[in-house]
Structure 1
């Protein structure tokens, strides 16, 4: 009974002659690992495990993109706030300057003291 399998001779149509001697291709490793490997071996993954792993990787990528978008939005808001503060300060300085120039225009030039104090009476 085992002679056809040992000698590779086909004798009749016995079920043993047609039996597959190799394992299924999806179970076998394509590259054999050395016996003295230092890395721990991981159990073979089922197809649904690979799907879950790719889903988790995609979710992590989306989370990183959302974080980057959030940081970008926060930076834009900070820049906008800084521009608004600068504009308010500029508006305040402009108002003060306008008030001062209007006050100077209303003062008669003879009433303004000279630097050397020559027009003090």
Structure 2
């Protein structure tokens, strides 16, 4: 798995501030501390979105979809994004390959206009 320096900084800060000995990476905020459930992750993402003033329905899969789309739109190779997402079939990854109008224009000029 890959982390930016900023993500690594915040992950280390989170781990250093934990007051439990649970082996799970993410745990509940209250005792008894236990592994954060799928629903717990969804709730945390929703709370972050609300604090950020985002009114759309935000959940972990939206974040995954956004990362894949932005990565592809910024020029990443489809196979590389497929590997990052853990997809066995490239067709599954192509769902995320929706290019913005600007990216379409850029690719047209780069590859088709002589």
Query: Normalised by the size of structure 1, how large is the TM-score?
Result: 0.23
Query: Normalised by the size of structure 2, how large is the TM-score?
Result: 0.24
Whose RCO is larger (CA < 8 A, sep 6+)?
2
